[in-house]
Amino acid sequence: MKTAIVGSGFVGRAWAISFARAGHEVALWDADPAALPAALDYIATVLPNLAAEGLLGGQEPGAVLARLRPTAELAEALAEVDHVQENTPERVEVKRQVFQDLDALAPPGAVLASSTSALLPSRFVEHVPGRARCLVCHPINPPYLVPAVEVCPSPWTAPETVARAADFMRGCGQAPLVMKREIEGFIMNRLQGALLEEAFRLVADGVAGVEDVDIGLRDGLALRWSFMGPFETIDLNAPGGVRDYAARYQGIYEAIFPSVQRRVDWTGPVMDAVEAERAGQLPRDALDERQRWRDRRLMALLAHKRRAATDIGQ
Amino acid sequence: MKTAIVGSGFVGRAWAISFARAGHEVALWDADPAALPAALDYIATVLPNLAAEGLLGGQEPGAVLARLRPTAELAEALAEVDHVQENTPERVEVKRQVFQDLDALAPPGAVLASSTSALLPSRFVEHVPGRARCLVCHPINPPYLVPAVEVCPSPWTAPETVARAADFMRGCGQAPLVMKREIEGFIMNRLQGALLEEAFRLVADGVAGVEDVDIGLRDGLALRWSFMGPFETIDLNAPGGVRDYAARYQGIYEAIFPSVQRRVDWTGPVMDAVEAERAGQLPRDALDERQRWRDRRLMALLAHKRRAATDIGQ
């Protein structure tokens, strides 16, 4: 299929890798022409690492790179395109204009998807004539390493658009979460926010340290979540499944609920404690190096999950 | 060291594996004498699987099994013991009596730890003469596969007791979360509860399906959490670290907060939808088989994490 990346910064270039890896042609465009060579340079450095981890499906990096085509004009990027992925700045007035332009220039059959993490689609597609083909496909960056993608319709998105976008994403090796309607924070930021809110509160209230919370996830809760998710986890955690779990253990969570109604300002006094503890674990000038470590660990984890799904079962 | 398992059911027998694997002598006791042969049989079936996954540290299953000793009398189990792990029923009057007995019978230098997940230690150690040596060490079951253990003091627990229990747990290959004070739900159930509460709400409100939530964790959020935890994840998710992250993104979470103040009864109408979707994924008569799959995947994940920590870095 033919795809276009509109906005080729941090998020757009990552999508380009995912689409091209799946065999799609990828036209890259950016309002800033200097962004395109930077994107191609970046992609050229990432592909050999993916190949080394077995995450290019046996393809040569050069073969994937050859599917990328920088374009000077937006109309050129959109010619005969099937899927457009928009990654422009997170400002509603920018997205409104961009979606007007995309709808005017892209062939009628193309799906127009935004990568926005912060804006509900209704806020920027309402007045677009082709709003039925517009929706959000929000990745966790980088999508070529993290499969989950939120597929979020606006009130006017056609069900067929949702189905086509989800199928396209599955074909790229992504794992779409197909939302039934839009909601602030989509799904993953709502779940992450609920957990982070409690994590900040535990530190602010002097119950636990930052590292203790991290241990609780990385050596505890997140192990099972990383291959089952929270619902399957509790479904397997009581003899009679999820209904039995809720009957047995809801009381524990009900008792906690009243004490989680108070917001903690993450940027307030608690941040001094959080940052001091993190800086003790990781000097601030080592953040870049640690990000590269994270990406290598993430690649190795994905390779492990594939092997385990084959050897032990999905 | 000499250890005692008081209550040899589901949780106690799992602790016995962790302690014996680390080279400790383990005396097993249970109010029901029939529980002891059942525990030993169970342990004998688990040890070869652990050996096969490289999770016995190169030891023969028989060598680990030989460190276990069933005892008919509690006093016999506690003779010369250094660490006692209590796993009796989750009823406060039971634990009050058991801790009186443990304190009366165990040598003065022994740490007395409860596995309780639901009861704060202050509720059952207040009137124990040796309450300074009593605390909670709460595992995620089974502790021989999941390293995280909450080490939770009562208001009267001596700091030295906390330090000794945490050191003992580290020596067993566990990862202690050392709490500064007791709180309902400890740390992990508070974090899990916050996320589950939002997960049930998303399903109840018709925003997402059960499987979509699970995808969001197992193919999204929990990947990074499973080797970094949530604080390190956000520390690496903004150029300037965790303070920069909070400044950039707190607004998203603040906007969500008002909509997460309403409890959903997990056992109410939403459970029909949750159970129906789970049963569609996994017939209810296949829960047992899937639990065995989960344990194999968990073992393989732990083996992967050890390799990755060595090859790529901790």
The 10s digit of each residue's pLDDT in B258-283 is 888 889 999 999 999 999 999 999 99
pLDDT value of residue B116? 97
CA atoms within 13 A on the CB side of A268: 9
Domain carrying residue A74 = 2-178
- Tell me: do A58 and A134 sit in the same domain: yes
pLDDT value of residue A247? 95
Q: Which amino acid makes up residue B5? A: I
Mean pLDDT of A163-192: 97
Of A215, A217, A246, the CB nearest to B271: A246
- Tell me: do A227 and A151 sit in the same domain: no
**Does a structural domain hold residue A41?**
yes
pLDDT at B118 over 90: no
- Tell me: do A126 and A205 sit in the same domain: no
- Tell me: do B159 and B235 sit in the same domain: no
Interior/surface letters B57-94, b for 16+ CB within 10 angstroms, e for the rest? eeeebeebeebbbbbeebeebbeebbbbbbbbeeeeeb
**Does a structural domain hold residue A313?**
no
- Tell me: do B156 and B11 sit in the same domain: yes
The domain total for chain B is: 2
Mean pLDDT of A5-19: 96
Distance from the Cα of residue B249 to its chain's centroid: 32
- Tell me: do A162 and A19 sit in the same domain: yes
Q: What is the CATH number of the domain that holds B6?
A: 3.40.50.720
pLDDT value of residue B186? 97
Mean pLDDT of B99-114: 98
Residue A188 tokens read as 């993953």
- Tell me: do B135 and B242 sit in the same domain: no
- Tell me: do B44 and B138 sit in the same domain: yes
ipTM of the complex: 0.96
**Does a structural domain hold residue A269?**
yes
Q: Which residue has tokens 């016999």?
A: B76
Domain-ending residue, one of A127, A160, A178: A178
- Tell me: do A236 and A91 sit in the same domain: no
**Does a structural domain hold residue A294?**
no
In the DSSP assignment, the letter for residue B52 is: H
pLDDT value of residue A240? 93
Of A181, A224, A261, the CB nearest to B261: A261
- Tell me: do B140 and B44 sit in the same domain: yes
- Tell me: do B169 and B193 sit in the same domain: no
Q: What is the CATH number of the domain that holds A267?
A: 1.10.1040.10
The 10s digit of each residue's pLDDT in A83-101 is 999 999 999 999 999 999 9
Of B117, B180, B230, the CB nearest to A206: B180
Q: Which pLDDT band holds residue B304 (cuts at 50, 70, 90)?
A: very high
Which residues of chain B from 189 to 248 reach within 8 Å of chain A, CB to CB? 189-199, 202, 205-232, 234-236, 239-243, 246-247
Q: Is residue B162 a contact partner of residue B178, using CB atoms and an 8 Å limit?
A: yes
Distance from the Cα of residue B186 to its chain's centroid: 11
Roughly what angle, to the nearest 10 degrees, separates helices A35-52 and A10-21?
A: 50
Which residues of A fall within a CB distance of 8 Å from B202?
183, 187, 190-191
Domain-ending residue, one of A178, A207, A237: A178
Q: Which pLDDT band holds residue A116 (cuts at 50, 70, 90)?
A: very high
**Does a structural domain hold residue B287?**
no
pLDDT value of residue B261? 85
Domain-ending residue, one of A124, A156, A178: A178
Nearest Cα residue to B120 out of B90, B141, B97, B149:
B90
The 10s digit of each residue's pLDDT in A132-157 is 999 999 999 899 999 999 999 999 99
- Tell me: do A68 and A145 sit in the same domain: yes
**Does a structural domain hold residue A147?**
yes
**Does a structural domain hold residue B198?**
yes
**Does a structural domain hold residue A291?**
no
By CB neighbour count within 10 A (0-12 exposed, 13-18 middle, 19+ buried), where does A298 fall? Answer: buried
